[in-house]
Amino acid sequence: MKKTFAFIVMFCMLLSTFMMISSTVKASAAVQTTFYVSPTGSDVNPGSQAQPFQTIGQAQTAVRAINSNMTGDIVVILMDGTYNLTSTLTFTSLDSGTNGFNVIYRADTASTPVISGGTSITGWTLDDAAKNIYKANVGTSLQTRQLYVDGVRAVRARGDNLSGFTKTSIGYTLPSTGTYANMASWGNVSDIEVAAKGYPWQQSRLGIASISGSAVTMKQPGWSYAPSNTGTNGWVENAYELLDTAGEWYLNRTTGYMYYIPRTGENMSTSSFIAGTLETLISGAGTLDAPVHNIQFDGITFTYNTWLMPNTNAGYPDNQGGVIIIESTDPEPENHKMLTPAGVAFKAAKSITVKNCTFTHIGNAGLGFDRGSQNNVIDHNTFTDLSGSGITLGNILVDDNHPTDSRNITSNNNITNNTISNIGVEYFDTVGIFGGYTVGAKIQHNTLYNLPYSGISWGWGWGYHDTLGTPVSQNNIISHNLIHDIMQTMNDGGGIYTLGSQQGSKVYNNYIYAIKNLYAHLYRDNGTSGYFDTNNVISSLDSTNSWWYYTNTGSGGYWNANNNKSYYNYFSSDLILHGTGGTNAVGNNYSVTNYAWDATAQAIIANAGVDGGDGPAPNFNLPAAPPALPSIPQSQITATATSYHAGAEPSKALDGSTASIWHSEWSPMANLPQSITLNLGGTYNVDKLRYLPRTDASSNGNITAYNIYTSTDGMNFTKVANAGTWVDDNTEKSAAFAPTNAAFIRLEATAGHGGFACAAEINVELTPSTVPQSQISATATSNFAGSEPSKAIDGSSSTMWHTAFNGSTGVPTVSLPQSITLNLGATYNVAQLRYLPRQDASLNGNITSYNIYTSTDGTNFTKIVNGGTWADDANPKAMSFTPVNASYVKLEAIAAHGGFASAAEINIDTLGNPITFTPPATSNLKLWLKADTGVVADVNGKVSSWSDQSGVANHSVQATSGYQPTLVSNVVNGNPVIRFDGVNDNLLSSGVTGSMNTSTVIFVLKPQAVTNYNQSIGAAGGWGQFQFHTTSTGQVYVGTSASSRITPTDGPGANTLVANTWSKFAYVLNNGSAKLFKNGVQLASKTISNPASWTGFTLGNNGSNTINGDIAEVIVYNSALSDTDRQSIETYLQTKYGF
């Protein structure tokens, strides 16, 4: 149904666009006939220029006689003068253009024809000399709410505020003193009206039914439909007793007398007095089967109408934006509402154009196009002195958002180049331009100012209507409008205010300033969804409101604004972003101080409003998402399972192939639950497991119910996902859980197809974390005073690090490259650098080409990103890389805007928590060498010293340059290593001496090649003290002497050490009892003799017994570590090195 409806909407839009284009082409091709009308003409005339008709109605009759098969436009020229209407001019399909041509009603050259619904009031006589009140007999049939004197709106007699009023269930209790104390004795009580505010965006107008003593009873049903908080913030209006100020008037509908107190300069004999009396001037009364279409109105002034519904018992119970609450039997409460009608109103109208017209002295909204209106144009009109909104488009009932007939959709209407000011004079909740449920509306290049409430209000329903079906509203464009001096009376509105779902809608290139009350210049209120705000300039100039952008996400559910975006807007730095969150995205907006707009912003300002140009092209491209951080590589994960069938081992769930599977044992069958446990090869912050069932023709083993557990040590597990369920098919599943640090993760199948459990592939997703800026310190090769490197890590986008320049000339005083170095405060597995360029109006210093380096000691840096590039703009940037263990990260700018380098913010993303470790049994620790710490190397990486980290300063050194091994960065899990050449490279720790009858030696080694007597690690005295070496087949010999040692026949066997393969070895001697472990697994146990006292500790030798490979870490104790202590070290090494 949704797809069908969407197709109908799209087809309607495309068809409407084609009709508009074809209509435009044909309409300019020819003129079939021209008629003339003049207030001084005669309807018996032929309608020629010399003998014009007198009334527009007669011209309308003449058009109907010839428009059934038009060969060109029919033009009706309205000559200068006022056309006083006594009844509404109604246009239907019978008055429409045909064959794509238009019927055009336009002003004569240099003329201002006026269509008026007013009644002239004359015969004024003095009624009360003391108060200077005049009266005129207008008869009891004249009904109006507006009087204009010499073209200026007069004020209905009104009192002061409602001080002393007390609200009751049926009305009010009057104060005992003051102006209103004796209201019960006033005349025509039923004509009196109370104008009172409800919520900050509402002001109702409701009539009084009766007054008894001090008890005021309000008219029903208006009172019951008014907002419940309508109270005592307002005034009383329309009583003779309130006539006390010049410019006020009152109509006694019972006696038929109108009263007025003249203003200075007005003459009761010669001044013009006009009451708006006709409610609708023009009615375009189309139907779905017979729309009114192809009519144009050009250069006409529409004026002096009224709207009498507020005079009735219904009153004006305000809802919002010119929508009131009415009595209705509809079961849907949201249909008990009505949009204020317009003085010139169209319904089911197509290809109607209203241009170059003036709407003034109007008693309701100026111009309205109701449901079913399509492809209409409202262009270059002026709207001023209106009781209600300037322009309304579409409607607000549930069926308008969910039409069962696509012809009801209000679509593809253009509202352009209109000037709207001083509207909402009577109904303060009304707006400059109001849109209900519309598709493809374009509201562009309008100028709106001096408004009581919002500038442009688009959409309806607060999200609730959208839950009742598929919302129709979409693809509306609000752009290039100039909006200022708004929200002058009401609160809780904005420059451009929206409600409800409007997918694909855009707000761009608008200039908004001088908002006098809450809330926001750009306001995405309840239920707003699908808006993209970009390239708008939001200024605090003459504003008392401080919010430039607001998405209302504080109400929950459908009420919340959602899926809106705001990027690349300019805003004054003293304005704030408020209330964003949820699924709304805000970023890359430019804060500008002291209105120092850059060239782009100035161009947006210059082109906003009537007759502006296109200006800068809007940017609807979202900033590039930071590159995805890598997941845990399957290659470093190992797996075990509670059961498996031969050929379907747990490793098959980690081999990258969907054709192989882990499968629980089926012969004999292993009953559920069954589990598979992954050793992640390190400790990571994880939050999701992805599971791919078998992809062959069978479903056996598809896991349908599960638990997930995590562990940091492989022994103690915590359940992080309980009783999850998956669909029994072969699509990939996932299970998310709260981010947790884990070195092991277990998937337990509690139910599976056929009673089995299987998995084709399992992956574990990482939760990257960011190094807290509070623990980072920064240095730089250069900085300008006040723009220190610390400003790049202070959490504020308004400050920055900037390289040095001459403060007078603005010329750089240093040349690129320049760099900033971050000390992370700990060692992390670093995976990404994020860079935010400066966020003010300047681009100076935006880094466009760069290198990134990492270091574990702050001295030896390794380049991990070479020659990266970023766009020269203010958008956030990021660069991800193969994760590397680092304590320092350096960003080097090799090219940047203006020859400077700058950064508003820099953040570092990591895979896991800081890598920290305190070894056990520290009192017996004799030597701790880590390739990521304390290495002294020359420019070629040649190592002269490797500092002992045990705290006893048994440093390992080599003074002879030809025998020095090499420091190589980023070799194993992002860590550096010391590389020995297999010829002469060696290092000696001469301080590791003494009795070692109890000892532990642990080291991390990868041989480049395996030959006889290489990979030599041992005491300086060799055999007799301690020695470890291998044979050409990878067999291991380790012990105290050639005759007392662990040999291959004792357990290690061939290929214990494999070329280009990392291993962790641990040798533990406890008074003659020796054990050898590899990667945490015991290989051998043997009784051997105790060693002679050690005379030092060597890595490699010169000539023979060399090391041909890499050493990452060495730990030596003069005690035999317990299994618990040894395992804690191996867990640390596993986390650090990934195996």
Q: Residue type at 630?
A: P
Angle at 343 between CA 341 and CA 347, to 5 degrees: 60
The owner of tokens 């730095």 is 573
Please check whether residue 531 is in contact with residue 507, taking contact to mean a CB–CB distance below 8 angstroms. yes
In whole angstroms, give the CA distance from residue 999 to residue 1073. Answer: 11
| Under-70 pLDDT residues of the chain | 1-29, 229, 579, 581, 623-631, 912-916, 1102-1104
Determine contact, residues 100/294, Cβ cutoff 8 Å. yes
114/359 Cα distance (integer angstroms): 10
| The length of the chain, given as a count of residues | 1139
What pTM, to 2 d.p., does this model score?
0.65
Count of other CB atoms within 10 angstroms of residue 1042 = 12
pLDDT given for residue 913 in this prediction: 61
Q: What is the 3-state secondary structure (H, E, C) of 784-797?
A: CCCCCHHHHHCCCC
Residue 655: the pLDDT is 92
Sign of CA pseudo-dihedral 842, 844, 849, 853: negative
Contact 422, 442 (CB under 8 A): no
Which runs of E-coded beta strand occur in 54-165?
73-78, 81-84, 89-91, 103-107, 113-116, 118-120, 125-128, 133-137, 147-149, 152-153, 155-156, 158-161
Query: Which value, in Å, is the radius of gyration of the alpha carbons in the chain?
Result: 42
- Distance, in Å, from the CA atom of 274 to the CA atom of 1050, rounded to the nearest integer, reads 117
Alpha-carbon separation of residue 575 from 480, 521, 549, 856 (angstroms):
21, 10, 9, 42
Rounded CA-CA distance 420/360 in Å is 10
Do residues 542 and 569 touch, judged by C-beta distance below 8 A?
A: no
54: amino acid identity, one letter: Q
Show the tokens assigned to 802: 């900037």
Query: What is the identity of the amino acid at 884?
Result: V
Contact status, residue 1015 vs residue 1044, Cβ threshold 8 Å: no
Q: What is the pLDDT of residue 1033?
A: 85
pLDDT at 624: 57
Element (H, E) at 366: strand 365-369
Q: Structure tokens of 614? A: 């296109």
Domains of the chain: 123-273 (no CATH), 634-760 (2.60.120.260), 770-910 (2.60.120.260), 922-1137 (2.60.120.200)
* DSSP SS3 for 1139: coil
C-beta atoms surrounding 933 within 10 Å: 16
> Within 10 Å of residue 208's Cβ, how many Cβ atoms?
24
Burial class from Cβ neighbours inside 10 Å (0-12, 13-18, 19+) for residue 50 reads: exposed
Task: Give all strands (DSSP E) within 1008-1104, no chain letters.
Answer: 1017-1019, 1027-1030, 1036-1041, 1044-1046, 1063-1070, 1073-1078, 1081-1087, 1094-1099
Residues 123, 877: Cα–Cα separation, whole Å: 76
Name the residue among 800, 803, 781, 798 with its Cα closest to residue 790: 800
CA–CA separation, 1004 and 1063 (whole Å):
6
Determine contact, residues 716/677, Cβ cutoff 8 Å. no
User: Which residue, 93, 72, 536, is CA-closest to 284?
Assistant: 93
